[in-house]
């Protein structure tokens, strides 16, 4: 073989630079431990709305809401979107709160059963004005709208 046919490969291609540690076989740095990011609480999140279960029948249906009143309700719910669930249910708990299903009226409990929601332990009351409430239940940060309660009759037997 001639000298020209023998190619010499530069040393830097065959071996890593002496100042770099090889990737394989290296021991992990014991000072570096994997850390999981903290899971944020759902109460620190802003609400979103689901309306698939919204009632359009008596006794607490939205079918009795006029167009003008519906705009007012929408505006109030939009204001809630700027707050976290902590602000809504903790800081403003004198207005908005969770209620055990055992404490709501019989007709509301019957509606939950008819809707196959009798496994829910608590519902949420959001105060709009005076006695007017929107009722629903929460799954994580999502509020599932159920009832329009203009005279605050859902709470109580």
CB neighbourhood size of 95 (10 A)? 13
Rg of the chain (C-alpha set): 30
Q: How confident is the model at residue 27 (pLDDT cuts 50, 70, 90)?
A: low
Say what the pLDDT of residue 86 is: 96
Say what the pLDDT of residue 45 is: 94
Answer for the pair 131, 152: CB distance below 8 angstroms, yes or no. yes
pLDDT for residue 4 is more than 60: no
Q: How far is residue 137's CA from residue 133's CA, in Å, rounded to a whole number? A: 13
Dig out the tokens for 22 from the structure.
């090889």
Vertex 117: Cα angle to 103 and 127 (nearest 5): 50
Chain centre to alpha carbon of residue 26:
43
What is residue 10's DSSP assignment?
Answer: P
Q: pLDDT of 90-137, one tens digit each?
A: 999 999 999 999 999 999 999 999 999 999 999 999 999 999 999 999
Say what the pLDDT of residue 22 is: 55
Q: pLDDT of 81-90, one tens digit each?
A: 999 999 999 9
pLDDT for residue 8 is more than 80: no
Dig out the tokens for 144 from the structure.
């599932």
What's the CA dihedral at 112, 150, 143, 125 to 10 degrees?
A: -80
Dig out the tokens for 35 from the structure.
């850390």
Say what the pLDDT of residue 10 is: 55
Dig out the tokens for 2 from the structure.
């001639």
Say what the pLDDT of residue 26 is: 62
CB neighbourhood size of 56 (10 A)? 10
Q: pLDDT of 138-151, one tens digit each?
A: 999 999 999 999 99
């Amino acid at each position: 073989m001639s000298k020209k046919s023998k190619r010499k490969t530069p040393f830097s291609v065959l071996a890593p630079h002496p100042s770099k540690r090889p990737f394989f076989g290296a021991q992990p740095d014991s000072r570096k431990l994997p850390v999981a990011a903290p899971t944020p609480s759902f109460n620190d999140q802003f609400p979103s709305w689901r309306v698939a279960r919204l009632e359009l029948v008596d006794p607490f249906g939205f079918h009795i809401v006029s167009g003008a009143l519906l705009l007012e309700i929408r505006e109030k719910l939009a204001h809630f979107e700027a707050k976290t669930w902590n602000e809504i249910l903790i800081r403003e708990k004198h207005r908005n709160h969770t209620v055990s299903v055992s404490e709501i009226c019989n007709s509301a409990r019957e509606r939950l059963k008819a809707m196959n929601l009798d496994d829910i332990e608590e519902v949420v009351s959001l105060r709009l004005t005076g006695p007017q409430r929107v009722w629903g239940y929460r799954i994580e940060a999502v509020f599932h709208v159920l009832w329009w309660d203009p005279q605050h009759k859902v709470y109580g037997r």
